[in-house]
């Protein structure tokens, strides 16, 4: 409804003269207040006729509102008695539906007294109702001030209400008029507007209007507060949305567009993996940090690196154990020749694991032996027979605890330790992890790796293993750890205590030959896509290779040489298409392999053999022989030891000298030799350090030989510790030493009586053939065998000969 200010357009001439009767225009839903101009659509025929009549007369109408909007032909009771006298301002516009659009201006309050119909429209008999109390009183001005203030407040809240309406209003008439105009511009209800119309008393009207507007102000203020709050929330949401969009744009500029998607992907992956709570929290923390960082910053890559690690570990994945003893035996047999004792122990161990409920608390197996004897491949076979993943951790040279347990994330380039790295490789929570060369760990200022490893192996602690890098607990209790070592003595004691040692010693020549024939050659033929007709080699040549081209307890070098020969064969076959096969001959061997890098310990086999004795030594790669030379020179009783001898070996030499001095008489040696003779003991191949007490009896024999000019037997070798009293004490590494004696074709070996039980074990494992083994408990026993002629004057005591078979082997070449 268009309502405009009426004050300016008001025409005084239209006020006079008033008829007491005017055509009645009843309105629906509209109350017209004095001094307002309003367009009206006149639709009812009766009303159209009333308007047409008014137009013909002086354009005046009596306008009032209907009480009930649905009544079409109202009577006196159907209309409000209070209405206004109004004047039609322009010629009406006829609308297409026949209705008339008129613009009327209300002139003043009037009250209908009577209604009657004539000429088919209604007439109203009315009286004017002038405003009461519209005089210049204090109350009026006070009320006006109040109304003004209230309206001003209202205009601030409703911008449609014109504020200039109240400017320069002073006289009571102006106040009277503007009060009605204010009512027009305030959002009053139909009833409230009618009530204002009916209140002719200006004081009363102003008061009423004030109250109504104040109520409206209250409503508007509350509404504004609510709207403000809603808007704040909406704005906040909008702001966030806007910022996010902006961030996306910045990320895009920085090439970070894919980052958010990627982070979401990582988040989803973390959820899918069902990480333990701790790990999940850490990942979430890092992802949140990641979101804030530029993607190419170093911090971002640290966070990303960490999250990647956590997500790539197996937290729940397990392989199903398939321990079948029969199958395990089969797998061990198909991959390894011999080793029956070792296989038996492994099968026992697997059986116990299958049977026992406390599977994870059993001791950790440790396969001990020289390199190349198949420790690693045995562990692989164990994992295969259990259906578990296999991972190898090399502990050789590990000095720092952090290598086991990882570096803290704060270090640049930090990584988890070897254990967690192995778990990632394993991709399951229960792999077999091989702790290779557990005896080769050492310690330095950065903590003891053995202590960290102890925690890894302890079933009480390894459920909650903490890697410094991960910084969350990781459960290692389902992992099966198996260790390997070369030298048991070098394993740190606390670790040794947790291990169940299975010894694997070196192979004899015939064992090596069998392994080469049955395993190494067929396996490598297959790997090189050759068939057994294309590559042939005789047993003699294989033996020659073992003998001349390898120096090892295991078969690793042998395998390397076999593969080299196969590669050369392939080359040969490719170069000469007519050739269908290659048979390895000794000439080809020399051509392809050249001369051997390994020189056998050269032994003094010729000459008188005075002052020389051959001992047996144990090294990490197996047994070896050790030729000890001595010479006695005129001098002042100095003792010189050369050939890089360790402290213990030097002490053995002095013990031997003291023993000889104490037996000088029986040996027919001049008692003054230690004052007027210099003694020089030398062990050739001086670049190799040697130590240990087991060369004691050998040094003693060599010295006696030199002092008595009595030649030693060059087909005898020996090992044993000597005491001042001349007792012979036990030594270690018996099997390897006997293998070396066999390899160098000695006929007789003197070993300590105390090693008798070890000898029984060795006999079960290897075939010593015709090797004559003499058990000696004193030096007298040794001297009786080591010399061609016993240097002792006295009758030699009974010697217990373990092998009585007459030797056929020759002295070493």
- Of 646, 647, 591, 653, the residue nearest 628 (C-alpha): 653
The H or E element containing residue 4 is strand 4-5
- Judged by CB under 6 A, the number of residues near ligand ADP is 18
Binding mask of the shown chain, residues 466 to 505, with x at each position contacting ligand ADP by CB under 6 A? ------------------x---------------------
Give residues 735-794 in contact with ligand ADP (rule: CB under 6 A).
none
* In the complex, least distance from residue 762 CB atom to ligand ADP, rounded to whole angstroms: 17
Residue numbers 107-146 binding ligand ADP by CB under 6 A: none
Rounded Cα gap, residues 168 and 271, in angstroms? 74
Interface region with ligand ADP, contact rule CB under 6 A, candidates 69-77, 150-158, 331-339, 795-803: 331-339
Nearer to ligand ADP by Cβ, of 554 and 791: the residue is 554
Q: How far is the CB of 318 from ligand ADP (least distance, A)?
A: 27
Which of residues 765 and 780 has its CB atom nearest to ligand ADP in the complex? 765
For ligand ADP, the closer of residues 372 and 431 by Cβ is 372
Binding mask 334-363 for ligand ADP (x = CB under 6 A): --xxxx------------------------
**CB neighbour list of residue 606: distance below 8 Å, 6 or more residues apart:** none
Shortest gap between Cβ of 555 and ligand ADP (angstroms)? Answer: 5
Report the distance separating Cα 189 and Cα 563, nearest Å: 107
Question: E strands within 521-592?
Answer: 535-536, 582-583
Which residue from 371, 406, 492, 615 is in contact with ligand ADP, where contact means CB under 6 A?
371
Which is closer to ligand ADP, CB of 392 or CB of 661? 392
- State the nearest-atom distance from the C-beta of 509 to ligand ADP, in Å: 14
Q: Which residue is nearest to ligand ADP (CB)?
A: 374
Question: Whole-number minimum distance, CB 565 to ligand ADP, in Å?
Answer: 16
From 252-260, 295-303, 366-374, 608-616, give the range in contact with ligand ADP by CB under 6 A. Answer: 366-374
Question: Are residues 349 and 325 in contact, defined by beta-carbon separation less than 8 angstroms?
Answer: no
Sheet holding 364-368, edge to edge: 390-394, 432-436, 480-485, 364-368, 499-503
Residues 6 or more apart whose CB falls under 8 angstroms from that of 113 comprise: 81, 124, 125, 126, 127
- Closer to ligand ADP by Cβ: residue 372 or 720: 372
**Which listed residue (173, 187, 376, 807) binds ligand ADP by CB under 6 A?**
376
506 lies in the site for ligand ADP, by CB under 6 A: no
Dist CA 224 CA 502 (whole Å): 87
Closest to 601 measured CA to CA, from 687, 515, 680: 687
**Cis peptide bond upstream of 94, omega within 30:** no
**Adjacency order of strands within the sheet including 772-776:** 639-642, 677-682, 622-634, 612-619, 716-718, 748-752, 772-776
Angle at 257 between CA 245 and CA 259, to 5 degrees: 110
Taking the C-alpha atoms of residue 313 and residue 474, their distance in angstroms, rounded to an integer, is 10
What CA–CA distance (Å, rounded) separates 782 from 727? 10
User: By rule CB under 6 A, what string of x and - marks binding of each residue 436-455 to ligand ADP?
Assistant: --------------------
At 359, list the tokens.
Answer: 């599977």
In terms of CB distance, is 372 or 733 closer to ligand ADP? 372
3-state secondary structure of 476: coil
CB of 389 to ligand ADP, least distance (A): 18
Tell me whether residue 26 is exposed, middle or buried, using C-beta atoms within 10 angstroms of its C-beta: 0 to 12, 13 to 18, 19 or more: buried
Binding piece for ligand ADP, criterion CB under 6 A, among 225-233, 373-381, 665-673, 771-779: 373-381
Site for ligand ADP in 221-280 (CB under 6 A): none
CB of 790 to ligand ADP, least distance (A): 43
Query: Restricting to residues 584-643, which ones interact with ligand ADP according to CB under 6 A?
Result: none
- Which of residues 460 and 489 has its CB atom nearest to ligand ADP in the complex? 489
Rule CB under 6 A: is residue 166 a binding residue for ligand ADP? no
> On the CB side of 545, how many CA atoms lie within 13 Å of its CA?
29
Name the one residue in this structure whose structure tokens are 């004095």. 34
Q: Which of 388, 383, 387, 377 lies closest to 314 in space, CA to CA?
A: 388
Q: How far is the CB of 394 from ligand ADP (least distance, A)?
A: 11
Q: Which residue number, 236 or 330, has a Cβ lying nearer to ligand ADP?
A: 330
Which residues ranging from 33 to 92 are in contact with ligand ADP (CB under 6 A)?
A: none
Q: Are 643 and 690 in contact (CB under 8 A)?
A: yes
For the bound state, the minimum distance from the C-beta of residue 554 to ligand ADP, rounded and expressed in Å, comes to 6
What gap in Å lies between CA 409 and CA 413, rounded to an integer? 8
Which residue among 26, 314, 372, 622 contacts ligand ADP (CB under 6 A)? 372
Sign, CA torsion 762/768/770/773:
negative
Q: Considering the complex, what minimum distance in angstroms separates the CB of residue 519 from ligand ADP?
A: 4
Structure tokens at 792: 């002792």
Contacts of 16-21 with CB under 8 Å at 24 or more apart are: 18/60, 18/85, 18/128, 19/58, 19/60, 20/125, 20/126, 20/127, 21/123, 21/124, 21/125, 21/126
Point out which span in 368-376, 402-410, 415-423, 526-534 binds ligand ADP (CB under 6 A): 368-376
Q: Residues 678, 681, 684, 688: what is their CA dihedral angle, to the nearest 10 degrees?
A: -120
Q: Which is nearer to ligand ADP, 480 or 562 (CB)?
A: 562
Task: Report the residue from 110, 307, 373, 382 that binds ligand ADP according to the rule CB under 6 A.
Answer: 373
For residues 283 and 244, give the distance between their C-alpha atoms in angstroms, rounded to a whole number: 23
Q: Is 750 exposed, middle or buried (0-12, 13-18, 19+ CB in 10 A)?
A: buried
Task: Compare residues 335 and 443 and give the one whose CB is closer to ligand ADP.
Answer: 335
Q: Which is nearer to ligand ADP, 374 or 623 (CB)?
A: 374
Return the ∠ at Cα 78 (arms to 77 and 79), rounded to 5°.
Answer: 95
Calpha distance 602→680 (Å, rounded): 20
377 part of the interface to ligand ADP, by CB under 6 A: yes
Query: How many H helices and E strands in the chain?
Result: 27, 26
Nearer to ligand ADP by C-beta: 295 or 338?
Answer: 338
Report how far Cα 166 is from the mean position of its chain's Cα atoms: 76
> Which positions are catalytic?
694, 737
**Closest CB 617 distance from ligand ADP, rounded Å:** 21
- Quick one: which segment of 371-379, 463-471, 534-542, 680-688 binds ligand ADP (CB under 6 A)? 371-379
In the complex, least distance from residue 514 CB atom to ligand ADP, rounded to whole angstroms: 8
Window 513 to 572, contacts with ligand ADP (CB under 6 A) = 515, 519, 554-556, 559
Task: Show the DSSP H helices in 254-373 as ranges.
Answer: 259-272, 277-292, 298-312, 325-335, 340-355
Q: Name which of 499 and 775 has its Cβ closer to ligand ADP.
A: 499
Q: For residues 376, 381, 386 and 388, what is the CA-based torsion angle, rounded to 10 degrees? A: 50
Q: How far is the CB of 305 from ligand ADP (least distance, A)?
A: 33
User: What is the distance between the alpha carbons of residues 484 and 375, in angstroms, rounded to a whole number?
Assistant: 7
CA-wise closest residue to 659 among 721, 711, 578: 721
Q: Which of 374, 449, 623, 752 binds ligand ADP (CB under 6 A)?
A: 374
- List residues near ligand ADP by CB under 6 A: 336-339, 371-377, 484, 515, 519, 554-556, 559
């Amino acid at each position: 409804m268009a309502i405009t200010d009426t004050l300016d357009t008001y025409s005084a001439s239209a006020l006079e003269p008033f008829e007491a009767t005017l055509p009645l225009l009843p309105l629906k839903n509209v109350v017209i207040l004095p001094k307002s101009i309003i367009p009206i659509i006149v639709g009812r025929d009766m009303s159209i006729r009333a308007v047409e009549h008014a137009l013909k007369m002086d354009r005046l109408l009596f306008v009032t509102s209907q009480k009930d909007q649905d009544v079409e032909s109202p009577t006196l009771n159907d209309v409000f008695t209070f209405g206004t006298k109004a004047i039609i301002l322009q010629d009406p516009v006829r609308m297409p539906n026949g209705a008339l659009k008129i613009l009327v201006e209300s002139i003043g309050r009037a009250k209908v007294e009577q209604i009657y119909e004539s000429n088919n429209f209604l007439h109203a008999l009315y009286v004017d109702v002038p405003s009461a109390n519209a005089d210049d009183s204090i109350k009026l001005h006070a009320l006006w001030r109040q109304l003004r203030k209230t309206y001003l407040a209202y205009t601030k809240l409703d911008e449609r209400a014109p504020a200039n309406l109240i400017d320069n209003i002073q006289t009571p008439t102006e106040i009277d008029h503007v009060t009605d105009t204010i009512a027009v511009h305030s959002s009053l209800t139909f009833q409230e507007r009618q009530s204002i119309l009916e209140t002719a008393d200006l004081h009363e009207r102003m008061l009423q209007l004030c109250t109504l507007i104040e109520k409206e102000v209250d409503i508007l203020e509350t509404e504004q507060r609510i709207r403000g709050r809603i808007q704040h929330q909406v704005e906040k949401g909008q702001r966030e949305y806007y910022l996010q969009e902006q961030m996306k744009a910045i990320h895009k500029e920085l090439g970070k567009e894919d980052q958010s998607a990627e982070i979401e992907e990582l988040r989803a992956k973390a959820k899918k993996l069902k990480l333990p709570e701790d790990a999940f929290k850490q990942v979430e923390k890092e992802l949140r940090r990641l979101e804030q960082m530029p993607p190419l910053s170093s911090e971002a890559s640290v966070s990303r690196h960490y999250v990647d690690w956590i997500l790539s570990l197996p937290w729940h994945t397990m392989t199903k154990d398939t321990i079948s003893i029969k199958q395990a035996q089969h797998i061990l047999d198909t991959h390894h020749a011999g080793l029956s004792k070792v296989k038996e122990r492994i099968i026992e161990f697997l059986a116990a694991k299958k049977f026992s409920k406390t599977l994870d608390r059993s001791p950790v197996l440790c396969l001990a032996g020289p390199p190349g004897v198949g420790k690693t491949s045995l562990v692989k076979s164990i994992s295969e027979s259990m259906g578990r993943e296999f991972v190898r951790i090399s502990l050789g040279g590990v000095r720092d605890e952090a290598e086991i347990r990882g570096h803290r994330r704060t270090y640049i380039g930090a990584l988890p330790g070897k254990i967690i790295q192995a778990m990632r490789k394993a991709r399951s929570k229960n792999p077999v992890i091989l702790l290779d060369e557990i005896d080769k760990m050492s310690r330095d200022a950065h903590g003891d790796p053995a202590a960290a490893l102890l925690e890894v192996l302890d079933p009480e602690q390894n459920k909650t293993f903490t890697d410094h890098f991960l910084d969350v607990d990781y459960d290692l209790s389902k992992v099966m750890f198996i260790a390997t070592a070369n030298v048991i003595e070098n394993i740190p004691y606390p670790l040794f205590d947790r291990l169940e040692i299975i010894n694997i010693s070196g192979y004899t020549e015939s064992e090596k030959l069998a392994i080469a024939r049955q395993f190494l050659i067929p396996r490598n033929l297959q790997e090189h896509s050759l068939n057994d007709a294309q590559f042939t080699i005789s047993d003699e040549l294989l033996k020659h290779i073992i003998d001349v081209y390898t120096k090892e307890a295991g078969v690793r070098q042998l395998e390397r040489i076999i593969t080299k020969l196969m590669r050369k064969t392939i080359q040969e076959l490719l170069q000469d298409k007519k050739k269908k096969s290659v048979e390895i001959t000794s000439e080809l061997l020399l051509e392809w392999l050249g001369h051997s890098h390994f020189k056998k310990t050269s032994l003094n086999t010729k000459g008188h053999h005075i002052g020389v004795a051959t001992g047996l030594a144990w090294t990490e790669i197996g047994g070896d022989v050790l030729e000890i030379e001595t010479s006695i020179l005129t001098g002042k009783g100095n003792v010189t030891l050369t050939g890089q001898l360790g402290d213990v070996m030097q002490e053995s030499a002095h013990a031997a000298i003291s023993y000889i001095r104490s037996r000088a008489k029986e040996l027919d040696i001049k008692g003054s030799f230690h004052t007027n003779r210099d003694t020089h003991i030398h062990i050739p191949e001086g670049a190799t350090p040697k130590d240990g007490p087991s060369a004691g009896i050998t040094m003693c024999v060599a010295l006696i030989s030199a002092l008595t000019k009595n030649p030693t037997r060059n087909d005898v070798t020996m090992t044993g510790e000597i005491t001042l009293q001349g007792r012979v004490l036990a030594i270690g590494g018996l099997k390897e030493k006997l293998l070396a004696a066999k390899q160098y074709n000695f006929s007789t070996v003197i070993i300590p009586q105390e090693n008798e039980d070890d000898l029984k074990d060795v006999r079960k494992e290897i075939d010593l053939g015709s090797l004559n083994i003499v058990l000696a408990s004193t030096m007298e026993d040794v001297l009786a065998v080591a010399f061609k002629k016993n240097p002792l004057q006295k009758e030699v005591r009974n010697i217990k000969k373990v092998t009585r078979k007459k030797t056929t082997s020759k002295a070493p070449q």
